[in-house]
Chains A and B, each alone.
Chain A
């Protein structure tokens, strides 16, 4: 009996001591100097974000968190920019136009190979000026540490003088300004920074206060900010990957705003407009399908596109997507394409004219073989819902469909071409220019070429687009290429994910009106 008592006592004591001792450990990050203020209309939880009332402190939830603040590595620059720490030479505005930020202006030589930039009178948060030499060294470092910029290895970066910076390219590179809006082109003080992972010295309106790798982040106002007044004192960015947690934290008054609101939460916020401001704008992430023309009759390809009703799908997805015509938002100059309205009767007529007849089960067949399509997709970005809705719509007119799910589409059906219809989701517009998407989707050497669309004509147009410097002409070329993909019934553009943001009344300027995912805090971000 003594042994039993000892065992139990030991076990319990061990558990309690370890748990309590571990709980009592200090958080690795220090508390903020100016702590967050609770929202005026919400009763905050016991010890959630206490703060002096006078501090203008924003509490925002983020969907991702990274182990480092080194803006040049991986995709970390996306988040240093969201945190308001880093800035680039150019930025994209809400109207998708590119405007100068750390650069004052730029010019390109007649042969299109030399870009000359004049830098703005910007400085880092330590007061050091941003020089052309520093910019050149930042770009060189980016290429060294980030594999995605290997293509830039042939470019040369030189500092002509203190504020004149030159990029020389081996080929004409008309999308240079757009490329420089990538958050990875952030400029850091390479000489003064001693810890790139935890405390890089940058030019943005906020500086890091505390950083928990893959966790929460606190930033405070950069008192030496070069580009106007910073309205907030600081902000806490909580890493909250779970949608329900964000909704409940918003309802509990523990956060003030966030983006990527899901459909269920959106309905709840919509029902209470006095407490929540909801902003919905079309984003740049596109859901689309590719029709495998090498396996299907022309009539079937056309029937698919006449059957899939994008408006009905967007309605089912409860406002998280907007129905698409092409891969780009319709207001963009390179988003001017058209597609026929859904017409199931016309689709049936096309199939019947091609010799398909309805069998006893209500499905079309030809030469004794039932018309059955595989819809390949993966479990992400609402593609399973899209696949199911497309299956329903196709089966309604008599085209049998089977759903095929793969975990990794790029290594699976995209690589093998083993599909009749392939669903996919990607960012179509990375920064106000169509070339990235056109290059990714329609190239003869591209990953979708197995489906049979690219022709010599489309390839020639893409080559022309690659080197075209006139913006209007670029838009016209892109429209022509995308229209070809629609008219040829090779692609179906279903929806553009909406960027859905929510904020308490009085919270403004957290980039809720910009369709890109990599903007967040700005000098204009404010909380009433």
Chain B
């Protein structure tokens, strides 16, 4: 297992180099640069001379490989540099935004999981019942509705009509409820469908029929079913964590939640290479690490994988 983890972490280095290089290249090739974006931010025209001078002072006039190499050398020393836009350290910006994203991601994931798992079990056990039909409808609706629409509907009904929650709340449990709900509804819809399908698949397997024929109590059958479905469930949840940690621009903008998604979008609009690079490094690492953790969990859950002596 230790070898396997070491190998995966080694892969991470390669992934980070490739991803950061490609991102830097794409930003370099796209029209416009940070100097122009910064100086013209409010629609005020600035002379070409000043733009050139600013470009020079920011090092944007240097060849691509020199710019990338300079950034990479600093990154190797854990120095992600300073934002082109405002001169503040990139690491500080990422940490601050990460805190907000982590709160939102974990909160909405917990909510979605807590709602989806019991519903998926119930609907799988009572397939084609009224509950199954209603849950399926909710699941499809949750999956189909775009985030911004869910957000606006929630704000309208909970804030404007019912006055239950504040729109202008600061960091608090109350302030977290609406973005959390808006983000968890589509996740919950997806989870219910996927969990239900996985449980149904397990319920259709011969070991379940065999157990039932032998008169094994239904709750023990269900325990075995859930155990066998847990690897798939864990994969689904794990992949969602990776996505959620990339931030959600729409939710963060609508609910004034300064997370990673908005930070990344603003950085892309401003051609703020250091922030974009920092964001890419962070999200790549999160994806790889979470996938690694899931693989470790597979081995923990399924002893057969441990005995094989390798990863999943």
Q: A7-B301, A214-B258 are in contact. Are A147 and B164 (CB under 8 A)?
A: no
Interface string of A11-31 (1 = CB under 8 A from B): 110111011101111110100
Q: A12-B113, A46-B163, A252-B160 are in contact. Are A517 and B106 (CB under 8 A)?
A: no
Cβ–Cβ contact A78 & B42, under 8 A:
yes
Q: A19-B106, A23-B107 are in contact. Are A248 and B160 (CB under 8 A)?
A: yes
B-facing residues in A391-432 (Cβ within 8 Å):
406-408, 410-412, 425-427, 430
Cβ–Cβ contact A7 & B297, under 8 A:
yes
Q: How far is the CA of A8 from the CA of B258 in the complex (A)?
A: 30
Residues of B within 8 A of A427 (CB): 42-45
Q: How far is the CA of A411 from the CA of B31 in the complex (A)?
A: 5
Instruction: Indicate if B159 sits at the interface (CB-CB under 8 A).
Output: yes
Cβ–Cβ contact A238 & B256, under 8 A:
yes
Cβ–Cβ contact B254 & A244, under 8 A:
yes
Which residue of B32, B43, B99, B256 is within 8 Å of A411 (Cβ)? B32
Taking CB as reference atom, which chain B residue is nearest A147?
B54
The distance from the CB of B282 to the nearest CB of chain A, in whole angstroms, is 17
The distance from the CB of B144 to the nearest CB of chain A, in whole angstroms, is 20
Residues of B within 8 A of A12 (CB): 110, 113-114
Cβ–Cβ contact B110 & A410, under 8 A:
no
Q: How far is the CA of A242 from the CA of B50 in the complex (A)?
A: 32
The distance from the CB of A240 to the nearest CB of chain B, in whole angstroms, is 6
Cβ–Cβ contact B170 & A46, under 8 A:
no
Interface string of A226-251 (1 = CB under 8 A from B): 00000000001011111011001101
Q: How far is the CA of A19 from the CA of B113 in the complex (A)?
A: 13
Residues of A within 8 A of B39 (CB): 147-148
Residues of A within 8 A of B224 (CB): 1
Of B15-23, B171-179, B201-209, the segment with at least 4 beta carbons within 8 Å of chain A is B171-179
Of B62-70, B123-131, B226-234, the segment with at least 4 beta carbons within 8 Å of chain A is B226-234
Chain B at the A interface: SS class: helix
Cβ–Cβ contact A1 & B227, under 8 A:
yes
Give the number of A-B contacts (CB < 8 Å). 184
Cβ–Cβ contact A147 & B160, under 8 A:
no
Q: How far is the CA of A306 from the CA of B22 in the complex (A)?
A: 48
Which residue of B45, B170, B226, B237 is within 8 Å of A440 (Cβ)? B45
Cβ–Cβ contact B160 & A23, under 8 A:
no
Cβ–Cβ contact B159 & A74, under 8 A:
no
Q: How far is the CA of A68 from the CA of B255 in the complex (A)?
A: 22
A-facing residues in B243-278 (Cβ within 8 Å):
253-256, 258
Residues of A within 8 A of B300 (CB): 3, 7
Instruction: Indicate if A506 sits at the interface (CB-CB under 8 A).
Output: no
Q: A19-B106, A147-B57, A151-B50 are in contact. Are A254 and B166 (CB under 8 A)?
A: yes
Instruction: Indicate if A127 sits at the interface (CB-CB under 8 A).
Output: no
Which residue of A18, A20, A66, A216 is within 8 Å of B170 (Cβ)? A216
Q: How far is the CA of A427 from the CA of B46 in the complex (A)?
A: 12
The distance from the CB of A465 to the nearest CB of chain B, in whole angstroms, is 16
Instruction: Indicate if A274 sits at the interface (CB-CB under 8 A).
Output: no
The distance from the CB of A418 to the nearest CB of chain B, in whole angstroms, is 12
Residues of B within 8 A of A29 (CB): 170
The distance from the CB of B288 to the nearest CB of chain A, in whole angstroms, is 19
Cβ–Cβ contact B102 & A18, under 8 A:
yes
Nearest first, the 5 A-B pairs at minimum CB distance are A408-B32, A48-B166, A15-B110, A411-B31, A19-B107
A residues engaging B (CB < 8 A)?
Answer: 1, 3-4, 7-8, 11-12, 14-16, 18-20, 22-27, 29, 43-49, 59, 66-68, 73-75, 78, 147-148, 150-151, 214-216, 236, 238-242, 244-245, 248-249, 251-252, 254-255, 285, 406-408, 410-412, 425-427, 430, 436, 440, 447, 517
